[in-house]
Amino acid sequence: MKFSANLGFLWSELSLPKAIVAAKAAGFDAVECHWPYDTPPNEVADALAETGLSMLGLNTRRGDVNGGENGLAALPGREADARAAIDEALTYAVAIKAENVHVMAGFASGSVAHNTFLANLRYACAQAANHNITILIEPLNHYDAPGYFLTTTTQAKTIIDAVDATNLRLMFDCYHVQLMEGDLTYRLHDLRPLIGHIQIASVPDRGAPDHGEINYAHVFAEIVKTGWGAPIGAEYKPNGPTDETLGWFSRARM
Protein backbone atom coordinates (compact mmCIF):
# COMPACT_ATOMS: atom_id res chain seq x y z
CA MET A 1 0.00 0.00 0.00
CA LYS A 2 1.01 3.58 -0.55
CA PHE A 3 0.86 6.29 2.12
CA SER A 4 0.93 10.06 2.23
CA ALA A 5 2.28 12.01 5.21
CA ASN A 6 -0.03 14.77 6.36
CA LEU A 7 2.41 17.51 7.29
CA GLY A 8 -0.21 19.46 9.18
CA PHE A 9 0.43 16.94 11.99
CA LEU A 10 3.55 14.94 11.11
CA TRP A 11 6.91 16.70 11.58
CA SER A 12 4.93 19.85 12.42
CA GLU A 13 7.94 21.26 14.30
CA LEU A 14 9.79 21.59 10.99
CA SER A 15 9.30 24.07 8.20
CA LEU A 16 7.13 22.70 5.42
CA PRO A 17 10.05 22.15 3.00
CA LYS A 18 12.05 20.33 5.69
CA ALA A 19 9.01 18.26 6.63
CA ILE A 20 8.71 17.15 3.00
CA VAL A 21 12.33 15.98 3.11
CA ALA A 22 11.66 14.15 6.40
CA ALA A 23 8.65 12.38 4.88
CA LYS A 24 10.77 11.22 1.97
CA ALA A 25 13.48 9.94 4.31
CA ALA A 26 10.85 7.99 6.25
CA GLY A 27 9.65 6.27 3.07
CA PHE A 28 6.32 7.98 2.38
CA ASP A 29 5.04 7.95 -1.19
CA ALA A 30 3.47 11.43 -1.13
CA VAL A 31 2.67 14.33 1.18
CA GLU A 32 -0.31 16.55 1.95
CA CYS A 33 -0.79 19.60 4.14
CA HIS A 34 -3.35 21.83 5.79
CA TRP A 35 -2.64 25.55 5.32
CA PRO A 36 0.74 26.12 3.64
CA TYR A 37 0.22 29.81 2.89
CA ASP A 38 2.94 31.19 5.15
CA THR A 39 5.53 29.29 3.09
CA PRO A 40 6.38 30.68 -0.36
CA PRO A 41 5.12 28.13 -2.91
CA ASN A 42 8.45 28.07 -4.75
CA GLU A 43 10.12 26.70 -1.60
CA VAL A 44 7.54 23.91 -1.40
CA ALA A 45 7.87 23.20 -5.11
CA ASP A 46 11.65 22.97 -4.76
CA ALA A 47 11.36 20.48 -1.89
CA LEU A 48 8.89 18.38 -3.86
CA ALA A 49 11.20 18.38 -6.87
CA GLU A 50 14.17 17.45 -4.68
CA THR A 51 12.39 14.49 -3.12
CA GLY A 52 10.29 13.40 -6.07
CA LEU A 53 7.16 13.45 -3.88
CA SER A 54 3.82 14.83 -5.00
CA MET A 55 1.60 17.08 -2.88
CA LEU A 56 -1.80 15.44 -2.78
CA GLY A 57 -3.75 18.33 -1.35
CA LEU A 58 -4.21 21.40 0.82
CA ASN A 59 -7.09 23.19 2.53
CA THR A 60 -8.76 26.52 1.91
CA ARG A 61 -8.15 29.02 4.69
CA ARG A 62 -10.41 28.76 7.70
CA GLY A 63 -11.16 32.50 7.89
CA ASP A 64 -10.89 34.38 11.19
CA VAL A 65 -9.40 31.62 13.34
CA ASN A 66 -9.10 33.87 16.39
CA GLY A 67 -12.78 34.63 15.97
CA GLY A 68 -13.61 30.93 15.92
CA GLU A 69 -14.03 30.33 12.20
CA ASN A 70 -13.20 26.97 10.62
CA GLY A 71 -14.01 27.46 6.96
CA LEU A 72 -16.11 29.87 4.95
CA ALA A 73 -17.86 28.09 2.09
CA ALA A 74 -21.18 27.39 3.88
CA LEU A 75 -21.43 30.77 5.59
CA PRO A 76 -24.26 32.94 4.17
CA GLY A 77 -23.06 36.45 3.50
CA ARG A 78 -19.40 35.44 3.27
CA GLU A 79 -19.43 34.38 -0.37
CA ALA A 80 -16.79 36.90 -1.43
CA ASP A 81 -14.42 35.75 1.32
CA ALA A 82 -15.10 32.09 0.55
CA ARG A 83 -14.36 32.53 -3.14
CA ALA A 84 -11.22 34.53 -2.40
CA ALA A 85 -10.04 31.62 -0.24
CA ILE A 86 -10.86 29.18 -3.03
CA ASP A 87 -8.95 31.28 -5.56
CA GLU A 88 -5.96 31.52 -3.22
CA ALA A 89 -5.91 27.77 -2.61
CA LEU A 90 -6.13 26.99 -6.31
CA THR A 91 -3.34 29.43 -7.15
CA TYR A 92 -1.11 27.82 -4.52
CA ALA A 93 -2.08 24.33 -5.67
CA VAL A 94 -1.18 25.15 -9.27
CA ALA A 95 2.19 26.53 -8.18
CA ILE A 96 3.13 23.32 -6.36
CA LYS A 97 1.21 20.95 -8.66
CA ALA A 98 -1.11 19.76 -5.90
CA GLU A 99 -3.86 17.41 -7.05
CA ASN A 100 -6.68 18.34 -4.67
CA VAL A 101 -8.09 21.29 -2.74
CA HIS A 102 -10.27 20.67 0.31
CA VAL A 103 -12.91 23.41 0.51
CA MET A 104 -13.79 23.90 4.16
CA ALA A 105 -17.46 24.50 4.92
CA GLY A 106 -17.28 26.20 8.32
CA PHE A 107 -19.69 26.50 11.24
CA ALA A 108 -23.23 26.86 9.92
CA SER A 109 -26.53 25.04 9.64
CA GLY A 110 -29.81 25.08 7.79
CA SER A 111 -31.05 25.32 4.22
CA VAL A 112 -29.51 28.72 3.48
CA ALA A 113 -26.09 27.43 4.50
CA HIS A 114 -26.68 24.33 2.36
CA ASN A 115 -27.47 26.44 -0.70
CA THR A 116 -24.51 28.72 0.00
CA PHE A 117 -22.20 25.72 0.16
CA LEU A 118 -23.57 24.37 -3.11
CA ALA A 119 -23.03 27.68 -4.88
CA ASN A 120 -19.49 28.06 -3.61
CA LEU A 121 -18.65 24.47 -4.52
CA ARG A 122 -19.96 24.98 -8.04
CA TYR A 123 -17.68 28.00 -8.30
CA ALA A 124 -14.72 26.04 -6.90
CA CYS A 125 -15.27 23.13 -9.27
CA ALA A 126 -15.54 25.39 -12.29
CA GLN A 127 -12.31 27.20 -11.41
CA ALA A 128 -10.48 23.97 -10.49
CA ALA A 129 -11.46 22.30 -13.76
CA ASN A 130 -9.28 24.81 -15.61
CA HIS A 131 -6.26 23.28 -13.86
CA ASN A 132 -7.31 19.61 -13.65
CA ILE A 133 -7.65 19.90 -9.86
CA THR A 134 -10.19 17.96 -7.80
CA ILE A 135 -12.25 19.68 -5.11
CA LEU A 136 -12.74 17.67 -1.92
CA ILE A 137 -15.27 18.02 0.88
CA GLU A 138 -14.79 16.34 4.25
CA PRO A 139 -17.31 15.55 6.98
CA LEU A 140 -15.91 16.45 10.41
CA ASN A 141 -17.03 14.91 13.69
CA HIS A 142 -19.03 16.98 16.16
CA TYR A 143 -16.67 16.26 19.06
CA ASP A 144 -13.67 18.03 17.53
CA ALA A 145 -15.65 20.54 15.47
CA PRO A 146 -19.05 21.14 17.11
CA GLY A 147 -21.31 23.11 14.82
CA TYR A 148 -19.41 22.29 11.62
CA PHE A 149 -21.78 22.26 8.67
CA LEU A 150 -20.73 18.96 7.09
CA THR A 151 -20.78 16.01 9.49
CA THR A 152 -21.68 12.77 7.69
CA THR A 153 -20.93 10.92 4.48
CA THR A 154 -24.68 10.79 3.76
CA GLN A 155 -24.82 14.59 3.82
CA ALA A 156 -21.69 14.77 1.68
CA LYS A 157 -23.20 12.42 -0.91
CA THR A 158 -26.32 14.60 -1.11
CA ILE A 159 -24.14 17.65 -1.72
CA ILE A 160 -21.94 15.95 -4.31
CA ASP A 161 -25.01 14.70 -6.17
CA ALA A 162 -26.57 18.17 -6.10
CA VAL A 163 -23.45 19.98 -7.35
CA ASP A 164 -23.09 17.38 -10.11
CA ALA A 165 -19.49 18.21 -11.03
CA THR A 166 -17.08 15.51 -12.16
CA ASN A 167 -14.24 17.02 -10.10
CA LEU A 168 -16.05 17.13 -6.74
CA ARG A 169 -15.18 14.18 -4.50
CA LEU A 170 -15.42 12.97 -0.91
CA MET A 171 -12.52 13.07 1.52
CA PHE A 172 -13.14 9.86 3.48
CA ASP A 173 -11.37 10.33 6.81
CA CYS A 174 -11.74 7.07 8.74
CA TYR A 175 -11.27 8.89 12.05
CA HIS A 176 -14.20 11.27 11.49
CA VAL A 177 -16.42 8.64 9.87
CA GLN A 178 -15.92 6.17 12.71
CA LEU A 179 -16.81 8.78 15.33
CA MET A 180 -19.95 9.93 13.49
CA GLU A 181 -21.22 6.85 11.69
CA GLY A 182 -19.15 3.69 12.09
CA ASP A 183 -19.59 0.90 9.51
CA LEU A 184 -16.28 1.88 7.94
CA THR A 185 -15.82 -0.98 5.53
CA TYR A 186 -19.42 -0.93 4.32
CA ARG A 187 -19.20 2.81 3.75
CA LEU A 188 -15.85 2.50 1.98
CA HIS A 189 -17.32 0.03 -0.49
CA ASP A 190 -20.63 1.87 -0.95
CA LEU A 191 -19.06 5.30 -1.37
CA ARG A 192 -16.02 4.21 -3.38
CA PRO A 193 -17.23 5.89 -6.61
CA LEU A 194 -17.34 9.26 -4.79
CA ILE A 195 -14.10 9.03 -2.81
CA GLY A 196 -11.23 11.26 -3.84
CA HIS A 197 -8.92 10.72 -0.86
CA ILE A 198 -8.75 8.49 2.23
CA GLN A 199 -7.22 9.46 5.57
CA ILE A 200 -6.48 7.48 8.72
CA ALA A 201 -5.90 7.93 12.45
CA SER A 202 -6.75 5.97 15.57
CA VAL A 203 -10.07 6.43 17.36
CA PRO A 204 -10.77 8.04 19.74
CA ASP A 205 -7.43 9.81 20.38
CA ARG A 206 -6.46 10.58 16.76
CA GLY A 207 -3.05 9.04 17.33
CA ALA A 208 -1.07 6.69 15.12
CA PRO A 209 -3.30 4.08 13.42
CA ASP A 210 -2.08 1.16 15.51
CA HIS A 211 -4.48 1.14 18.49
CA GLY A 212 -8.00 2.07 19.55
CA GLU A 213 -11.35 1.15 18.03
CA ILE A 214 -10.32 0.64 14.42
CA ASN A 215 -8.55 -2.51 13.23
CA TYR A 216 -6.60 -0.93 10.41
CA ALA A 217 -5.16 -4.22 9.19
CA HIS A 218 -8.72 -5.18 8.30
CA VAL A 219 -9.56 -1.73 6.92
CA PHE A 220 -6.46 -1.72 4.70
CA ALA A 221 -7.42 -5.11 3.29
CA GLU A 222 -10.90 -3.83 2.49
CA ILE A 223 -9.48 -0.71 0.84
CA VAL A 224 -7.38 -2.94 -1.41
CA LYS A 225 -10.52 -4.88 -2.33
CA THR A 226 -12.15 -1.68 -3.57
CA GLY A 227 -9.34 -1.26 -6.08
CA TRP A 228 -7.92 1.81 -4.37
CA GLY A 229 -4.30 2.41 -5.40
CA ALA A 230 -3.60 6.02 -4.44
CA PRO A 231 -1.65 6.94 -1.29
CA ILE A 232 -3.67 6.90 1.94
CA GLY A 233 -3.23 10.00 4.07
CA ALA A 234 -1.68 9.52 7.52
CA GLU A 235 -3.39 12.41 9.29
CA TYR A 236 -2.76 11.62 12.93
CA LYS A 237 -1.36 13.47 15.92
CA PRO A 238 1.95 11.91 17.03
CA ASN A 239 2.32 11.39 20.78
CA GLY A 240 6.03 12.16 20.47
CA PRO A 241 8.60 12.61 17.72
CA THR A 242 7.00 11.55 14.45
CA ASP A 243 9.77 9.11 13.57
CA GLU A 244 9.11 7.21 16.79
CA THR A 245 5.43 6.67 15.87
CA LEU A 246 5.98 4.98 12.50
CA GLY A 247 5.93 1.33 13.56
CA TRP A 248 2.47 0.98 11.99
CA PHE A 249 3.88 2.34 8.73
CA SER A 250 6.67 -0.23 8.54
CA ARG A 251 4.21 -3.07 9.20
CA ALA A 252 1.65 -1.84 6.69
CA ARG A 253 4.23 -1.66 3.91
CA MET A 254 5.54 -5.21 4.47
Local structure of 121: helix, strand or coil? helix
Backbone angle region of 195, left / alpha / beta, with phi > 0 → left and psi within -120 to 50 → alpha: beta
Say which CATH class 3-252 falls into. Answer: alpha beta
Would you please indicate which residues are annotated as catalytic (active-site) residues? Answer: 138, 235
Residue-wise pLDDT for 84-104, tens only, equals: 999 999 999 999 999 999 999
Looking at 53-161, which runs of residues are DSSP E strands?
57-59, 100-102, 134-137
- The whole-angstrom separation of Cα 191 and Cα 242 is 31
- The whole-angstrom separation of Cα 142 and Cα 145 is 5
- The whole-angstrom separation of Cα 31 and Cα 202 is 19
Global confidence as pTM: 0.97
Residue-wise pLDDT for 183-205, tens only, equals: 999 999 999 999 999 999 999 99
